[in-house]
Amino acid sequence: MNHKIISSRTITELYRYLQHNGGSYNDLRNCFRNCGIEPSKNIRYSSTRHKDQFLDEYVQPLQLDRIEDAENLIRFIEQVVNIPATSEEQNLIESLRQDGWQIIGNKIVRVGHNVEALIEEMLQGQPVDTIQREWDRARLSVLTDPADALTAASAMIEATYKYMLHDMGKPMPSKQDMRGLSKIVHPLLDLSPDQEANEDFRALLNGTITIAQSLSSIRTKIGDAHGASPKRGHPTERHARLAINSAGSICVFLLETYHERTEENLKS
């Protein structure tokens, strides 16, 4: 028997939430259709309540042990549920967490995703095409042109910094390289190793900053951004893949931190 990716418990919490939330029937119908979910009358209703019967027509036909159907329903939940969650959504969000989902910014993603899947989830539907462009470029180049992949990995972090500055309405620094951008963005995010009370977390954050700076340096010396030097090293696929995964992890961390700080500011 296949394991459901979204449990019956979560469906019950979703129905309970939608009894009083989520907009009109027409709003819900449009949200379902936007997520590729169509109704079926060939179902057995689970309740006598009219709204539950309406939801049954869309939800019951879904095969929630299949990732495609589960992710379509998650996209629907993102549209009808307030994120960040208020007290009304807490039971539903907690049930999703028990099913193995987590909230990142305004997205619901599966726990344990690899870096590539996390990036894809976080950028889906977001106005961050510059980050997506560098990510796609890096992935496509890793086998055919590792030097270009290294360049794109560094550029992806820089694009993340620029996205956050643009989204906050802050001016770009005169020097828009990794060091110049990080000096402006990190204080805005309260990102400083010195503020970490735990020594291990302090070392981890310092290491993250060092990796970002190293990627920028590699981009200059080995990547293809500034022309080839006669003494330039020759990156291989493994170097490029390490750079891409490191850059992806850093971007996920920066975006998570940005979303967290934004939510904190909205609540204060």
Within 8 A by CB and 6+ apart from 73, the residues are 6, 35, 37, 59, 62, 64
Say if residue 231's pLDDT is above 60. no
pLDDT tens figures, 23-43:
899 999 999 999 999 999 888
The enclosing H or E element of 111 equals none
Range with the largest mean pLDDT of 58-62, 100-104, 141-145, 173-177: 58-62
Domain covering 129-267: architecture = Up-down Bundle (1.20)
Domain residue limits, the chain:
8-111, 129-267
Radius of gyration of the chain (CA): 22
pLDDT tens figures, 64-90:
988 899 999 999 999 998 877 677 888
pLDDT band at 123 (very low <50, low <70, confident <90, very high): low
d(CA 69, CA 6): 10
* Per-residue pLDDT, 193: 79
* Per-residue pLDDT, 226: 46
Mean pLDDT across the chain = 84
pLDDT band at 140 (very low <50, low <70, confident <90, very high): confident
Chain position carrying tokens 């629907």: 76
Say if residue 14's pLDDT is above 70. yes
